[in-house]
């Protein structure tokens, strides 16, 4: 389903003094996918994002974005990269002295020559796009909840209509309801805008719910890249601890509940993840699956909670 590479990283080496962060790291990101980077603290997940958009530079290796080598670009030549890639930083990184609208407008002022009137209209559109009320534009970051700050940061990252969106710990520090709402927003934006999304996260719920693939950073390199279901079977000590701990098991159990689908035609209830034959939209994201009984097409975003017992389903109303 994903055939074109938009990011290609080869033999990347990163050091801070004598401390080696990445050593011969390789990773390919395909167009239209949602891929997450996971790994223990200090393995260089956020550093890798920063290197792709040239906020930091490795000591060796190659990074190609849309087929172009970026590590040797001049400051002027990096403008195209910053226009085609949007970044949401940890904790939002909003300017506290600026309003929401002014924060979102910053990339437009810096990288375009658009009129003030058009920028104002674009900012209002981006604020609405991430699910915030129009009056949010007049507020300052100190007046926002944690979830609202993250949404503003996403709106700013989308200001220049990027093709790749980088999200650094998007759900960190949020309550479960706000984190779940942000998960939904990521999926909606990816689908509607045709984005490629790269996420650094420790959020197991996000990994199960949102991602197409997960890249595991360990021992200074990418140890594995696979759908999360496959990673749970890898015999790697850190992965086993990560997925088989109490939080990991809880996330998997919640997935079973949330991935229950009812066929609108024959009314059969079944688990989406038990059937691997999927249909995909033009961006490669799962939108429909076949009912195993009548073969009708079923939307997988129309989910309900049910209690499974043996070979039949009892509604948990």
Give CA separation, 55 vs 15, 46, 52, 68, 295, in Å.
Answer: 15, 11, 8, 17, 49
Tell me, what's the pLDDT at 47? Answer: 95
- Determine the pLDDT at residue 225: 93
Q: Which of 215, 172, 167 is nearest to 190 (CA)?
A: 167
Residue 43: count of CB within 10 angstroms of its CB: 22
Fold (CATH) for 5-255: Rossmann fold (3.40.50)
| CB half-sphere exposure, 271, CA atoms < 13 A | 14
pLDDT at 261: 59
Which parts of the chain register pLDDT below 70?
1-3, 244-264, 267-292, 297-317
The CA distances from residue 196 to 31, 52, 176, in Å, are 6, 14, 25
Residue extent(s) of CATH 3.40.50.300 domains in the chain: 5-255
How much is the pTM? 0.77
Give the tens place of pLDDT for each residue, 277-294.
344 444 444 455 666 677
Give the tens place of pLDDT for each residue, 124-172: 999 999 988 889 999 999 999 888 999 999 999 999 999 999 999 998 8
**DSSP H or E stretch at residue 68:** strand 68-69
DSSP-derived pairing of the beta strands 5-16 and 19-30? antiparallel
């Amino acid at each position: 389903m994903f055939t074109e590479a938009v990011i290609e990283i080869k033999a990347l080496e990163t050091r801070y003094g004598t401390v080696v962060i990445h050593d011969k790291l390789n990773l390919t990101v395909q167009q239209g996918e949602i891929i997450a980077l996971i790994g223990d603290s200090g393995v260089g997940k956020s550093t890798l994002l920063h290197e792709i958009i040239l906020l930091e530079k490795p000591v060796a290796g190659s990074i190609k974005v849309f087929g172009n080598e970026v590590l040797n670009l001049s400051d002027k030549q990096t403008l195209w990269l910053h226009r085609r890639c949007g970044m949401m930083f940890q904790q939002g990184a909003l300017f506290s002295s600026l309003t929401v609208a002014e924060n979102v407008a910053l990339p437009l002022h810096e990288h375009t020559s658009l009129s003030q009137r058009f920028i104002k209209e674009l900012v209002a559109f981006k604020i609405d796009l991430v699910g915030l009320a129009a009056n949010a534009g007049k507020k300052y970051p100190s007046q926002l909840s944690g979830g609202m700050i993250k949404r503003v940061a996403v709106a700013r990252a989308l200001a220049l209509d990027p093709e790749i969106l980088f999200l650094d710990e998007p759900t960190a520090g949020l309550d479960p309801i706000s984190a779940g709402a942000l998960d939904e927003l990521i999926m909606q934006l990816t689908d509607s805008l045709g984005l490629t999304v790269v996420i650094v996260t420790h959020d197991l719920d996000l990994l199960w719910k949102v991602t197409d693939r997960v890249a595991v950073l360990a021992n200074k390199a990418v140890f594995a890249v696979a759908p999360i279901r496959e990673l749970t079977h890898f015999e790697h000590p850190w992965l086993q601890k990560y997925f088989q701990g109490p939080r990991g098991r809880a996330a998997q159990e919640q997935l079973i509940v949330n991935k229950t689908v009812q066929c609108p035609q024959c009314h059969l209830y079944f688990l989406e993840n038990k059937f691997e034959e999927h249909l995909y939209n033009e961006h490669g994201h799962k939108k429909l699956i076949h009912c195993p009984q009548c073969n009708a097409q079923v939307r997988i975003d129309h989910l309900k909670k049910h209690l499974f017992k043996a070979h039949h389903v009892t509604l948990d109303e």
